[in-house]
Amino acid sequence: MELISWSDFEKVHICAGTILSVDEFPEARKPAYIVRVDFGKEIGIKKTSAQITDAYDVDELVGKQILGVVNFPSKQIGPIKSEFLLTGCTNVSGAVIISTLERAVPNGSRLH
């Protein structure tokens, strides 16, 4: 594992946001959803493609507060532009479990 400096970490904007909608993404190469998240007034609403179908149904995701990296450049994924990275960890089965918050914070709050 390569060590990074504090200034490297400060460049990554990991912020809290609330999932507004989740749609099936049939054009994706691997099963995925299109997830739209409200990151607050300064950042706004962003969307991404997320390969989280193994662990989540569409209806259980709306309203969850998540952590996302919001300062990556947009990336074209099939017909959509991914505008942020939804963070998570892989469980023992290989499914991605999204990073959520224990208690609510204002959307756009930055991870320190």
108 part of a folded domain: no
The DSSP bridge pattern shows strands 33-38 and 45-50 to be antiparallel
16 part of a folded domain: yes
Please give the pLDDT value at position 105.
Answer: 98
107 part of a folded domain: no
pLDDT (tens, 9 = 90+) of the chain, 112 residues, equals: 999 999 999 999 999 999 999 999 999 889 999 999 999 999 999 999 999 999 999 999 999 999 999 999 999 998 999 999 999 999 999 999 999 999 999 999 999 8
103 part of a folded domain: no
The CA distances from residue 48 to 2, 8, 21, 39, 52, in Å, are: 27, 24, 11, 13, 12
CB 68, CB 15: distance < 8 Å: yes
Q: What predicted TM-score, i.e. pTM, was given to this entire model?
A: 0.94
67 part of a folded domain: yes
89 part of a folded domain: yes
Please give the pLDDT value at position 92.
Answer: 97
